[in-house]
Structure 1
Amino acid sequence: MWRVVGFAADLRQPPPRRAKRGVIARVDRRGARGARERFWSGLRWAASVAVAAGLLASAAATYVSGRYEGRLGQMAREVAALRGQVGQQRLALALLRDPATQVVLLEGLEPSPQARGRLIWNAHAGGLFLAADLPPAPAGRAYELWAIVGTRPLPSGVFGVDAEGTGSLRVPPLAAARRVNRFAVTLELAQGVPAPTGQMYLASK
């Protein structure tokens, strides 16, 4: 019994200072190690989040940039088309102010009977030709306009059509402002030919 009482008394006595300092040191080391681990763990997590955010931002920027550039390209094409239409309208108005200007209608022939053409023509200033409902030309081919003087066809320009079969051409005046009997359109090589060789698609009366 006295041994138990003595042991209990020993427990009530404060530990030696050296032992106390050792315990505190071990606790401090564990606390510091835990703090360092928490710090590096938090740093790694923050770095992962930053990398993920950077990748997401880069992907978003690429997507937005692609759509933005595509939209800009579309707008540029629309503006160019509108400018072309405005230019054609101005030319047509300028030609129509001259009493010598005539409007020539071209009708579709057997390859494309639904096609039609209209030529605002001035012998001194040239003209503006507009085509509609022509079939798209095959690769390496284009439509060519001919001014027929007497029985001789003179090349007057090459043009293409869009997916809807619409095309236009600024027609230069003929040398010496000769009188044109008829106009016609044939399908030729894309670079144009000096004399018609292909099938005729449009012709005036």
Structure 2
Amino acid sequence: MTHSACRRLATLSGIDVIAVDYRRAPEHPAPAAIEDVRAVLAWLNNRPESIQPIGLAGDSAGALIAYLATYGSEVEIDQLLLINPNVDLTLSSPSVEAKGTGWGLNARDLEWFVSQWAPTAAMCEGQALSPLQNPPSAAPMTTVITSEHDPLRDEGLALARHLRGAERLTAHHHLDGMVHGVINLDTISPQHGGWATSS
């Protein structure tokens, strides 16, 4: 999430927000970013004035990193907020093709981004980087936000179904008419922040 999105989240929610400047690909492919988030969680948890409860939030690839950081973490995460999450690195969902041109996030760019972070097919297809292949019962309670015109829409919808079956879904908000990156469009779109439909 951008710094402006983090500030807005802090202002609107009244909670403390810490933005993690994790290592990025291609210099630092997976799982470097996941390890960095876990390290910050451990630091928070070990402070004398420990911040509780602890939640994680992320947008797009950041949502995937937030989700994966909960696996193998010794710190209890109370809540996840995942905005337009990229949770299928094979990019095989129909919306990648249907919404991959003309809606802000280009499918070819998306493929390049994924290839830098997970440079082999084995990484993209493997369980370690796929929330949809991990038991949802192990996930924290999670809120998922998806957008109608997002190439990653179907992945987010699949994750919401995955979590709902294990009763780990706090809420799913689907934003009609919105695109990927909607969290950063608060000065452009009057619909920003308004849930069109919920399920």
The TM-score bracket by the shorter chain reads: under 0.3
Name whichever structure is richer in strand by fraction. Answer: 1
Relative contact order, higher structure (CA 8 A, sep 6+): 2
Alignment TM-score, normalising by the size of structure 1: 0.23
Between Structure 1 and Structure 2, whose CA radius of gyration is higher? 1
Q: More helix by proportion, 1 or 2?
A: 1
